[in-house]
Amino acid sequence: MSDWRLNGQEEYLSNKTLYKITFPAFWETAYKGKNAFFQKIERYAKEHVEATNRGHEYLEGEKIQHFWHEHCEFCWEKALTDKTGTFYCTEDMYHWICEECFDDFREKFGWLVKSAEELLL
């Protein structure tokens, strides 16, 4: 029997390097260092505010984190910067996988794991 969570992810997630991300620590580091993850959120937030002419107040300080969330590629579990949890993401930070799905599919997909620090070098 096939798993309901599997839906063609092999095409883009097989044998990928994934980076282990723990929230909220990952966000706190990003915010302090204004690193690539912070810049990704900032870019998106600015585009959103510009396009809609709303939400300017969210561009100030830590509130900007609320412009970001992702879903697990398999079970749709939500990743948030201020919700405690562990996720695994691809190098472009585009695909996210929750811990449970990671454990279940790790062998099938042949993932290589690196640390969050390596992602932001």
Nearer to Zn ion, 5 or 66 (CB): 5
Of the chain, the end-to-end C-alpha distance in Å amounts to 41
Q: How far apart are CA 26 and CA 20, in angstroms?
A: 10
CB of 14 to Zn ion, least distance (A): 17
- β-partners of residue 19 are 89, 114
| Smaller CB separation from Zn ion, 16 or 48 | 16
Q: How far apart are CA 120 and CA 39, in angstroms?
A: 12
d(CA 105, CA 97): 10
When asked if residue 89 is in the footprint of Zn ion (CB under 5 A), the reply is no
Binding string, residues 46-85; x marks residues near Zn ion by CB under 5 A: --------------------------x-xx-x--------
Residues in 91-110 that interact with Zn ion by CB under 5 A: 98, 101
Q: Which is nearer to Zn ion, 3 or 62 (CB)?
A: 3
- Which lies closer to Zn ion via its Cβ, residue 8 or residue 61? 8
**Displacement of CA 72 from its chain's centroid (Å):** 9
Q: Which helix (H) or strand (E) holds 23?
A: strand 17-23
Using CB under 5 A as the criterion, which residues of the chain lie in contact with Zn ion when the complex forms? 72, 74-75, 77, 98, 101
